[in-house]
A and B are shown apart, each in its own frame.
Chain A
């Protein structure tokens, strides 16, 4: 993340969708997120790996009723970066509107 708030890690369309969905909940299961985004396991895993490496997403594996499930949540760092990124986008749009 840079100082201005723009975050290239978050800005990619799939990752932005992931962050937006995770920001609305406490945790989402991997399968549910994949269904909502309508992407394959591999695509979602790849995008999540990028977000995890940036420290924006936490993945926790738990067993519920004998079934292994991966729960995903936005970390506080990720939440801050996402909020700053959206604020930055609004600022760009607001700035352009003022110029016009």
Chain B
């Protein structure tokens, strides 16, 4: 490294970027919630999507929405508290602009899925609630597994 005159070669820059990718991947693995947590929250989100799509006037699916929202909220608080005990404070929203945009896109996708599933279900397509719930569960679980910090991280090294 030739940091004294603030210039480095392309090879050195590449090596540094590769090591950064490995560090970030390590951080993602260390900060990833346990699998049981991901499964429960993903199922709760599936329940929310199904209940919201099946909700009509005063039927019992309103209770499903309340249970799912309360469950997701309680699980998030539990995760943040347990991380804090382990010496890590997670921000609800990532600090980087790219991370914020990514979280915004995730929020948009989740909301769109909820609305589209409900619209299709109320239009008479009963299967839409099931399909929406499965898609919501899988996508939410996958997002929590792959991007636990909310930041978009490269899957491979920069050399790949």
User: Which chain A residue shows the least CB distance to B30?
Assistant: A36
Interface 1/0 per residue, B4-38 and A, CB below 8 Å: 10111110011011011001101110110000000
The distance from the CB of A97 to the nearest CB of chain B, in whole angstroms, is: 8
Cβ–Cβ < 8 Å partners of B89 in chain A: 25-28, 71
A21 at the interface (CB under 8 A from B): yes
A23 to B158, CA, bound (A): 19
The answer to whether B90 touches A25, judged by C-beta atoms less than 8 angstroms apart, is yes
Determine chain A's interface SS by DSSP, over half rule. helix
Q: Which of B17, B31, B88, B90 contacts A93 (CB 8 A)?
A: B17
Which chain B residues lie closer than 8 Å to A33 at the CB level? 87
Question: Which one of A8, A69, A97 contacts B87 once the chains associate, using CB atoms below 8 Å?
Answer: A69
B83 and chain A: residue at smallest CB distance: A25
Q: Are B24 and A86 in contact (CB under 8 A)?
A: no
How far apart sit A4 and B5, CA to CA, in the bound complex (Å)?
Answer: 12
Sample 15 A-B pairs with CB under 8 A, ordered by A number: A4-B6, A8-B3, A8-B4, A8-B6, A23-B95, A23-B96, A24-B149, A25-B31, A26-B91, A33-B87, A36-B30, A79-B95, A83-B96, A86-B17, A86-B20
